[in-house]
Amino acid sequence: MTEPLLELLHGLATTRTIRRYTPEPVPEADLAAMLWHATRAPSGSNRQPVRYLVLRDEPTSTAARQLIAGAAQRMWAHKEERDGYGAGTGATPDSPKARMAATMRHYVDHFAEVPVVVVVCMERYRDPSPYEGGSVYPAVQNLLLAARALGYGGAVNMFHLMVEGQLRELLGVPDHVAMSACVTLGRPVGAHGPVRRRPARDVVFDGRWGVNADWVTEPDGARHTVWKQHG
């Protein structure tokens, strides 16, 4: 009989995006273990097209991290202004909006000093398809969960896309390789804990579109986001 693995479920429900890190370096053995577990992720036909471009402290890696950091800062400055993060409840220092803005500001301002950055890539073996991400993002989640399991935390971001051409040149990434995601990793400042999501019943349909599954229940301690309905 297969034994249940309840700790795994606990990890799935409580692995938050970590955007603040201590300056503690990530020992190579831990980083190797995270990457090994990422490489165990499933992919279509088990083709395993994912490649991990690890950026640590070597001069080229540092230059790449600085490029991404600059992009992140520009992106956040634009979004902060456009979405009015300083207005409304954002003007109240302890509001969720203000806390989110402070976390993002810290993340982008310290991006170049994050202990490890991994650009997760996909070696294409056919023309780009809408489904190709399906063979990459399970590995990204495995990386985050492996980090969590070893006492670290991570965040997925797409900042690298703003400087993709420069990164390709600097890091020698060929044209047929997709740069699918950027992941920052390190020891968390703060803690993991229950993630906030929509109640599962709202998003699980039973047999017919729009029929919420009333047998889907929330475990104790589940935390929820308030979300607008589409349509």
The H or E element spanning position 193 is none
195 near ligand FMN, rule: CB under 6 A:
yes
- Minimum distance between the CB of residue 196 and ligand FMN, rounded to whole angstroms? 6
Q: 129 vs 172, which CB is nearer to ligand FMN?
A: 129
- Minimum distance between the CB of residue 207 and ligand FMN, rounded to whole angstroms? 28
Please identify which residue in 34, 38, 55, 155 interacts with ligand FMN, judged by CB under 6 A.
Answer: 155
Site string for ligand FMN, 9-28 (x = CB under 6 A): -------xx-----------
- Minimum distance between the CB of residue 206 and ligand FMN, rounded to whole angstroms? 26
196: its two tokens: 């906030």
Subset of residues 99 to 118 that bind ligand FMN, contact rule: CB under 6 A? 107
Contacts of residue 48, defined as CB under 8 A and 6 or more positions apart, other chains included, come to 39
- Minimum distance between the CB of residue 110 and ligand FMN, rounded to whole angstroms? 12
Q: Which residues bind ligand FMN (CB under 6 A)?
A: 16-17, 107, 155-159, 195
